[in-house]
Structures are given as C-alpha cells and as structure tokens.
Structure 1
C-alpha cells in the first residue's frame, strides 16, 4: 500500500488488525482504507490520532432483505485509533454531490488497503463532476467555524488550531489561483499552488517544525499576521458567489450505478 511507510510499525499493525476485525464482525469487503486526518494532511504531531476511513461493501444478500443495512460502520475510538467507514452506495451518492470528504479519501497519500482498480475507477467518476462549488462552501464553513471558535478574540490561543484554519484557507486560495486541476489534499501541495509572502511562509514553517517535534504546541499569544490572513480569506470568500453544485449528468449517475452493481456481484 502507498504511503504507509510514514506510519509507525506498531500503529500500522494495530490499524490492520482493526480493519480485519471490521471484516470479520460485519462480513464486509473493504474496497479502500486510507488515513484522513492531520497525518494525511502533512502536519502530524507525535501523538496525532490515526483517522482511518474506509469504503466497504457487504455481501449481496445483505441488500436484498426487507430492511436495508446501515450504511456506516463505526468502531469505538480506542486510544489514538478512530476508524470508521461508509457503505459503497452511500459513498457513491455522496460522490455525485461532490462531497469533499470522498475527494479527500481518494487523494490521501496514505493507503492502508484497496481493492485492485477500485480507486482508479472511482477517481475517474469524480473527475466528471465539478467539485469546486461544494469544496469552496465546505472549506469556508470549516475555516469560519474553526477561526471564530478557537482563535478570534482569544487572549491566548492553542497554537495547533492555526493549522485547522490554515488548511481550509489555503484550499480556498488554491481554487482561486488555479483555474484547473484537482484540489490537493496535502497541505504542502496546497502551499506550492498559492502565492505566499515570505514572512507568512516563515511563520508557517516555524509552526510546522514545532508541531512535528512536540506532543502539544501549547497555548500562546495570537499570531496577528496569520489572523489577518485568515480574516481576509473569510471576508473574500463571503463576498464571492461560490456557486451551487450542479446535478451530475445522467451518464455519470449511470456509471456510478454500474460500478455499484458490478461490485455487488463480486461481493
């Protein structure tokens, strides 16, 4: 699997055991399992959680009864391990709405498990859908919520919270500055696609270095330069017409249904 070399061996073993437990307890076939949190975004701390997300399918007979099965599998959080997933039907319906979570799962650099060819096929479907309206609304909402709740007006700030504002802010700027292409998941790739003044880059690099080496950045004074950048980003996004998500053309829906049926036949 790709990218798992950045995961400590003991953690990787635990994750794979838990995924095997999911399969055994739910009679599920995992089509794709990835890391989705700060480790995949590229700014983990030594004690960051492992946010494992997966897409799965149940045996065909499970869908043919009078009651449809639940469309999520949620495992109890155990220590640093947060592992849960979506049924393929749910995932495809969200893909048709350009759900940003699905896009991030498909672009995660850390893949724990995947069925041969599955990710390539579902990525090809996502490429037929305009992701940007949904992504812009999502990242504006994420940025505004994180900034107003965790940073704005605070006398002291938990410094790691800046990363949960900077990533959606850079995602917005990346979409504004790049007319084409798929929105990257990894923070460093977002930064490369955005005009970044030297003083802001230096401040972010300093925080990244601290976050990578300490379990908790702790609290400190607000960072005015970053605050100004985040506030300006929110103001700009709120002033723009971010657009509305278009309904996918019938051929894309048909292709999703075809993928679902073919996968169920294999289940």
Structure 2
C-alpha cells in the first residue's frame, strides 16, 4: 500500500473481541505464509446481510493479489486460499483474477464483498475502482439469473412444503434473493444490488405489513439460534413466488454475453491493480 492510499476498517461494537483478534491474526498469517497483498477483507454472510443469529459464525472473506511473477508462470498456483473451519471462524479468499472473472459472469458474491458494511481492512481506492468496474461491466440479466438460481435452489430445498419445519435462516436464504430480484425490477438502470438486507427492504416499495413481518423475523432470528424452526408466512411465500416468476419472464429469453469491451476493461483494471500493488 502506498502513502496515497487510505485504509478503512469498520467493525460493530457488538463483535466478539476474541473472534476479531483471531481474524486479524489469521489474515496476517495468510499475508506472510502466502506472500500476498490483501486489499479487501470483509465480513460476509448473515452478519453483513443484517440478519444474524445468536450463534452465527464469522464469515471473513478476502481478495488477494500474488507477486506479479506468479501471474506470469506457466504453472499458476491455486486461485483460492482456504483456512480450516473452526467453531466460530470461516475464513477464505479469492485471487483478484478469479474475482474479476466471476464479476463479469454476473456472480453477485464479488459485488456483495465490495459493499459489505463490516470491514476488517480495505484499501479504499481498490474498493472504489473495483465497484466502478462492476457498475460499468456487470450484465443485469446475468446478475438476475444468479439471484434467481440461488433463490429457487434454496426455496425448493428448504421452504417448499416444509410447514413449520423450516430453519429460520433458510427462510432468509430464499427471501433475500427474491427481494434482490424485486429491487432490480424496480431499479431498471441498476446492476449492483445493495448487500445490507434491511436497507434493501426500504428500497423495494413493499407494503408496510409485509415489511413488519420481515422485521419481526429479523428480530426473532437475532434472539435465537440457527436451528430454530418456523413456517413460511403466506404473504412471504406469495412474494417469493411472484418475484421468481417475474424474473423468469423478464430474463429467460435473453442470451447475455460478456462483451469484448467489458473484457478489455476488466483486463485493464486487473493489470493496473497488479502494477500498483507491486511498484
């Protein structure tokens, strides 16, 4: 990191200090043992989405940049770094090259990492430039398809026909993609969906009663453990079904492709980040 760069950290007061220390120590070990720069390390999952449970673990995700020589090798190394799971911590990251490629394919995980409200450490210039690239090159149909596939998979596996036997967190795993699809429908010029779920809700023109039901579920989830069983409220079941059906109608007939211009922009961004990192 050069002197012109700014480093940002944003951690809620409620975070377990022991877990935070362990995460910081783990990231430092990764930097040393793998000889990488980590311009972005954030919290993903339920804590960053805004609906944690009492026993939610910590999902630290990061983007790393290897020494330039490794990108020129005939035998490239793995593009992920994974740390063995512990009871509280789940820490893993992607090489910048992998993150950029997936971004162009509409993988919303990268966009969510870039907009996470919980930040262990972030080069602000890197985040700003990467997010700007996302806004320029991400395909709305590909982003929508990602949310649709994710949401339908979760709904069919965990929600459909479950009665009162569905884990509360699984309800949110189906509801969040549906709300993201609604947000895209109501914001036709946008392609990057807000990550923080309560904030997302306020931009989706939902009826007050529906928002109250969801807020009650968020509060209930915050006061219980991951294993709590619930039933899908009928109004939310209808909302999810409607948004999935609309997304199919709006995007199924499209055949989006990654443009040559988008690939050139991605190449330029990647090269500039590698060069800046290893001056």
Decide: shared fold, TM above 0.5: yes
Aligned-pair Cα RMSD in Å: 2.0
Report if aligned partners of 1:72, 1:85 keep a CA contact under 8 Å in 2.
Answer: yes
* Counterpart in the other structure of 1:248: 259
Report if aligned partners of 2:63, 2:94 keep a CA contact under 8 Å in 1.
Answer: yes
Match of 1:124 among 132, 140, 159: 132
- Superposition deviation, residue 27 in structure 1: 1.0
Determine the C-alpha separation between the residues in 2 that align with 1:10 and 1:261.
37
Runs of 5+ consecutive residues of structure 2 not aligned to the other structure: 1-7
Match of 1:89 among 68, 76, 97: 97
Report if aligned partners of 2:56, 2:226 keep a CA contact under 8 Å in 1.
Answer: no
| Deviations 1:188-233, CA, capped at 9 Å, x for gaps | 1211111212322221111111111222461134422222222222
- Superposition deviation, residue 2 in structure 1: 4.0
CA gap 1:154/1:31 in 2 versus in 1, 3 angstroms: same
Determine the C-alpha separation between the residues in 1 that align with 2:73 and 2:249.
49
CA gap 1:223/1:247 in 2 versus in 1, 3 angstroms: same
Determine the C-alpha separation between the residues in 2 that align with 1:26 and 1:207.
41
Determine the C-alpha separation between the residues in 2 that align with 1:34 and 1:244.
33
* Counterpart in the other structure of 1:4: 11
- Superposition deviation, residue 80 in structure 1: 2.0
TM-score by length of 1: 0.91
| 2:207 aligned with 1:200 | no
Report if aligned partners of 2:103, 2:138 keep a CA contact under 8 Å in 1.
Answer: no
| 2:196 aligned with 1:189 | no
Match of 1:219 among 229, 244, 254: 229
Match of 1:32 among 31, 40, 45: 40
SS in structure 2 at match of 1:160: helix
Determine the C-alpha separation between the residues in 1 that align with 2:114 and 2:83.
21
Determine the C-alpha separation between the residues in 1 that align with 2:243 and 2:257.
25
Report if aligned partners of 1:22, 1:28 keep a CA contact under 8 Å in 2.
Answer: yes
- Superposition deviation, residue 131 in structure 1: 3.5
